[in-house]
Amino acid sequence: MGRWGEKEEPNLKSPNFPLLLNLRTFWGLVFVFAVFWSLKVAGVFRGDLVNFGGWNLVFRFLFAVFSLQLDPEFLLITFDATLKTLAYAVCGTFFCVIIGLVGGVLSSEVWWNSVYKGNKIPNLYVIVRAFLAVPRAIHELIWGLFFVNIFGLDPLVGILAIAIPFGAITAKVFSEILDETPREPLLALLNSGVTPLNAFTYSIIPQAFPNLLSYSFYRFECSIRSAAVLGIIGAGGLGYQIHLSLQSLRYEQVWTLIFALLLLSGVTDVLSGWLRQGLELPSRLDLNVLNLKKRNFVDREKKISTSSTNIIQACVGRLCSYSRTLIGCRLENGDTPEQSPHHLFLGAFSLLILSFWYIQADFSKLWSPRTAKLLIGVIQDTFPPQSIDVDKLFELSLQTLAMSILAMTIAGLGGILLSFCAARGEEKITTKTAFLFTRFILLFSRAVPEPIWALIFLFVLFPGILPGAIALGLHNLGILGRLMAEVIENLDQQPLNSLKALGASNSQVFLYGVLPATIPRFLAYILYRWEVCIRATVIVGLVGAGGLGRLLTEQLSSFDYQGLLGTLIVFVGLTFVVDRISAAVRRCLR
């Protein structure tokens, strides 16, 4: 305050406005440039993209929905194909979770810290993560084509093609979950003289169990879609039957099979969501998109004592409570949100046994002399790798990158628009009919495999990366739209209610409450799916959509293993580059 009689100078300190050019605007400009560049690579600005002679086939395909083939013989084929797809997914997920659990523990920092009891440890978990990065980067379709050359058209191909790449992905996510789990109970047990294995089992695993279980459910949903895709290479199931009917232009059969796939995917989604809600498990992709926030174990367990006995009792009690809920028993306090179906655990175990019995995979081929001989032959044919055509691979890499960018632009924009119509909640200003129709559109988009979408668009578009980009975009639109709808449904309602109490209109609540809370998570989901999409370009390459995927499938089909090795190195490198860019942008959004 100034002296008496002197005029006090007002504090005119200007408010801090965000800089116009910052890291977020930089990435935004990069995105706009990347979209225009991708459109140029796809040939959109050159014209001559549409094959007008193919519209007749498109109209025939669309009108065939009103004349489904429902004769008993074909319905029996459809039912058998549906059971095979489900069995592939169940068996593949079973081995995927086993690989993920073992690989996740070995690639987690907390495990090696417990083994060495906090002393300086070698970077063993880094070595394991690097080892698992290679199978994770190679799409399951490439694994399937490789195993077909080794095992022939055996159901074992479908199981291994799902289990190996999905197991590596699951191991990565499981290791992140374990590393994010609070370590106070583990340290207390180790300081009490408990062996590292027992301390890890009785402290970290019970805390991480709901997150591990939630991601296992999500991975099973992904396995359903992958099982349908793998059918296209001859593994059997709905994808195989759809591909055969589409090639023979029997569109009535195609629609019957598509509706069977829709039913299977829809039932899986509903049951998985119901179980998550009943067990109060985390949202699907929060586990590996936004990174788990460390939960305070002391608060969750009502500030238990740090003695080893109490910690073991609390951790094991928590694990047992989830186990009892899974098999249909109530928790001890009787306050479960919803009781799970009785004998659920027994039902899941029975489904697993029946799945192995139904597909009749010959696991003896894994250790047969013939398999070893073929693998040795493949290794001899692969090394030394032939010289790489750098110019050709660079051009195909750019096509693959452009395809993935266009696909995620279509999926992201479409998913954001449809998610608000597909979300339940009081903030919804849509009719019940619009809600159900949007949910059906999203289910249809993600249930139909990408190669089927690509084949449909190849009716009216000339071969190139554009049909592949649209196919990948539509499939991922269904996935992103459903995930984004869950984000809206799970919004914290307190800020929105506060805005309403201050007199804000519904549009103002949406602009200043809903959008700021959802857009960062939407972008994080889009970036994560971009990492998945760059691998999925292999799928549409199978049907001639261009990029590295087409070259990979051609080399596998012609047994050109020397050329395949070079192309795989480039493809894996491109995948890692996309992963790093995606991770950098996601860090910027936090």
Tokens describing residue 261: 């796939």
The packing angle between helices 308-326 and 251-279, to 10°, is 140
Identify whether 46 is part of a domain.
Answer: no
**Which residue in this structure is represented by tokens 């340290």?**
187
| Strands (DSSP E) found in 261-312 | none
Per the document, the length of the chain is: 590
> Total domain count for the chain?
2
| Gap between the Cα atoms of 224 and 87, Å rounded | 9
Shared domain for 278 and 425, answered yes or no, is: no
Residue 270's Cα: distance from chain center in Å?
A: 17
| Gap between the Cα atoms of 214 and 553, Å rounded | 34
Last residue within a domain, chosen from 341, 370, 399: 370
Shared domain for 359 and 395, answered yes or no, is: no
**According to the model, what pLDDT value does residue 117 have?**
67
Cα angle, residue 416 at apex, residues 460 and 176 outer, rounded to 5°: 110
Q: What is the DSSP letter of 461?
A: B
Identify whether 66 is part of a domain.
Answer: no
Shared domain for 238 and 90, answered yes or no, is: yes
**According to the model, what pLDDT value does residue 5 have?**
46
Shared domain for 366 and 402, answered yes or no, is: no
| Gap between the Cα atoms of 578 and 531, Å rounded | 6
Shared domain for 238 and 143, answered yes or no, is: yes
Shared domain for 289 and 404, answered yes or no, is: no
Shared domain for 445 and 574, answered yes or no, is: yes
| Nearest in space to 320 (alpha carbons), one of 209, 402, 242, 189 | 209
Phi, psi of 251 (to 5 degrees): -70, -25
| Structural domain for 340, as ranges | 81-370
Identify whether 31 is part of a domain.
Answer: no
The packing angle between helices 308-326 and 344-359, to 10°, is 60
Shared domain for 205 and 250, answered yes or no, is: yes
In this structure, what CATH number is given to the domain that contains residue 412? 1.10.3720.10
Shared domain for 124 and 268, answered yes or no, is: yes
Cβ neighbours of residue 110 under 8 Å, at least 6 residues apart? 178, 179, 181, 183, 186, 200, 204
| Gap between the Cα atoms of 563 and 387, Å rounded | 8
pTM of the prediction?
Answer: 0.79
Identify whether 380 is part of a domain.
Answer: no
Last residue within a domain, chosen from 315, 336, 370: 370
Cβ neighbours of residue 120 under 8 Å, at least 6 residues apart? none
Last residue within a domain, chosen from 337, 370, 403: 370
Tokens describing residue 415: 């998913």
Shared domain for 554 and 413, answered yes or no, is: yes
Residue-by-residue pLDDT tens, the chain, 590 positions = 444 444 444 554 545 545 566 777 888 888 899 999 999 888 887 767 777 777 888 888 888 888 888 889 999 999 999 999 999 999 999 999 999 999 999 988 888 888 876 555 567 777 888 888 888 888 888 888 888 888 887 888 889 999 999 999 999 889 888 888 888 888 888 888 888 888 888 888 888 888 888 888 888 888 888 888 887 777 778 888 888 888 888 889 999 999 999 899 888 877 777 776 666 666 554 544 444 444 433 334 333 344 445 555 555 555 555 544 444 444 444 444 444 445 566 777 888 899 999 988 888 888 888 888 888 888 877 777 666 677 888 888 898 999 999 999 999 999 999 888 887 764 445 577 888 888 889 988 988 888 888 888 888 888 888 888 999 999 999 989 888 888 887 777 777 778 778 777 777 777 888 888 888 888 888 888 888 888 888 878 777 677 888 888 788 777 788 888 888 888 888 888 888 888 788 777 76
Tokens describing residue 294: 């460390």
**According to the model, what pLDDT value does residue 334 have?**
44
At 50, is the secondary structure helix, strand, or coil? Answer: strand
**According to the model, what pLDDT value does residue 515 have?**
81
**According to the model, what pLDDT value does residue 20 have?**
60
What percentage of the chain's residues is helix, strand, coil (to nearest 5)?
75, 0, 25
Q: Long-range pairs for 246-250 at CB < 8 Å and ≥24 separation?
A: 246/452, 246/455, 249/57, 249/60, 250/69
Cis peptide before 10 (omega within 30 of 0): no
| Gap between the Cα atoms of 111 and 120, Å rounded | 13
Identify whether 129 is part of a domain.
Answer: yes
| Strands (DSSP E) found in 69-223 | none
For the residues of 77-125, what is the DSSP string, one character each? HHHHHHHHHHHHHHHHHHHHHHHHHHHHHHT-HHHHHHHTTTS---SHH
Cβ atoms 220, 89 nearer than 8 A: yes
* Cβ neighbours of 6 (radius 10 Å): 8
| Gap between the Cα atoms of 172 and 541, Å rounded | 27
Identify whether 529 is part of a domain.
Answer: yes
At 464, is the secondary structure helix, strand, or coil? Answer: coil
Amino acid at 547: G
Identify whether 63 is part of a domain.
Answer: no
| Helix or strand run (H / E) with residue 332 | none
Cβ atoms 325, 252 nearer than 8 A: no
**According to the model, what pLDDT value does residue 112 have?**
84
Shared domain for 117 and 217, answered yes or no, is: yes
| Gap between the Cα atoms of 168 and 131, Å rounded | 9
Identify whether 5 is part of a domain.
Answer: no
Shared domain for 125 and 197, answered yes or no, is: yes
